[in-house]
Amino acid sequence: MTRGSKTGWIVLGATLAGFPLLGGDFYINLASQIFIAAILAASLNLLVGYGGLVSLGHAAWVGLAAYSSAWLYLRLGLGHWITAPLALALTTLIAGVFGWIALRATGLGFLMITLALSQVLWGTAYRWAAVTEGDKGLSGLTRPAPFGISLDGPAAFYYFSLAVTFVALWMMARFVASPFGAALRGSRDEPRRMSALGHNVWRVRWITFVYSGFWGAVAGLLFVYYHKYIHPTTLSLTNSAEALLGVIAGGAGTIAGPIVGATIVLILKNYVSAYLERWNMLLGLVFVLIVIFMPDGVVPGVRRGWERWTKR
């Protein structure tokens, strides 16, 4: 890591740490939502950017973890210290089953299977009213209090979500930088050659699918802690598409790309929508401009432009 990049990370860390002192509650809450969306987009990027597997069902892990945690808390009266690991374990287990099914296909077939499986969960959330309360959703939830620290305030939850986001992104960065990450990229680019070299391409993709589902579940726990409410729309195709849009817009196959893409989508969705009724049209226009002028995404495009400028 160069001295300039170290300085950049230090400045970024100091800015994020001091942000609650500068912004109002609205902006602090918006930043917390961006952290949640960044974890979800980064976990999807493991499949899309590094595995070459485009999924349209990634919001299923958010909804499944959120519903599991909420049901265990409301119906069984369990504390957050036990509902969180149980929800993560259940979601990761189902991700393993879904991956075993979906990875029997690649390309468009994989995309359609992930979409179909997520829609099964979405329909179940709507119809199984005895468990999910159907269209009413589950309410009456509370936020955890780790080490006795209340997370009810916007600033407290901001720092909590910031810490979880830092750990999640660091773990995913280590994952793709490891020898296994190299095997994953090789399976994306040259699957036949990787098989000839003795690598089990299917197993590499399946492990990545499960690992991606785990971090999607972490985003789901943060989501339900933030909103204190969960509704079937959390598992909808729209949420999966927004996560995928964030990955593509920011730059698939990069660490910073999904973070930037998720930030763009969340700002347009939660801030611009207050001024424009048809904010999704602006989102579509922004995405078209990114595809035209930065086809690899914002982060690779900015990096390429910076390199050209420094050479001049």
CATH code of 87's domain: 1.10.3470
pLDDT at 26: 86
18, part of any domain: no
pLDDT at 9: 64
4, part of any domain: no
d(CA 310, CA 203): 43
Closest CA to 176 of 42, 304, 289, 64: 42
pLDDT at 7: 65
b/e burial code for range 278-294 (CB count within 10 A of at least 16 → b): ebeeebeebbeebeeeb
What range does the domain containing 137 cover? 25-311
122, part of any domain: yes
List Cβ neighbours of 186 (8 Å cut-off, separation of 6 or more). Answer: 193, 194, 199
19, part of any domain: no
2, part of any domain: no
Residue type, 3: R
Quick one: 137 exposed, middle or buried, by C-beta within 10 A (0-12, 13-18, 19+)?
middle
pLDDT at 62: 96
Quick one: 191 exposed, middle or buried, by C-beta within 10 A (0-12, 13-18, 19+)?
middle
Predicted model pTM? 0.93
Mean pLDDT, consecutive 10-residue segments, the chain of 312 residues? 57 75 84 95 95 93 95 92 95 96 91 94 91 89 89 92 94 94 93 90 96 96 95 91 92 91 89 74 85 87 84 76
188, part of any domain: yes
The domain tally of the chain equals 1
pLDDT at 280: 76
pLDDT at 223: 96
In this structure, are residues 230 and 278 in contact, taking their beta carbons and an 8 Å threshold? no
Q: Cα 289 to the chain's mean position, in Å?
A: 23
276, part of any domain: yes
Give whole-number Cα distances, 36 to 13, 166, 205, 221, in Å: 17, 11, 24, 9
pLDDT at 6: 59
7, part of any domain: no
- Count of beta carbons in the 10 Å neighbourhood of residue 130: 7
Torsion sign, CA atoms 126, 128, 134, 137:
negative
Give whole-number Cα distances, 133 to 69, 74, 140, in Å: 14, 12, 12
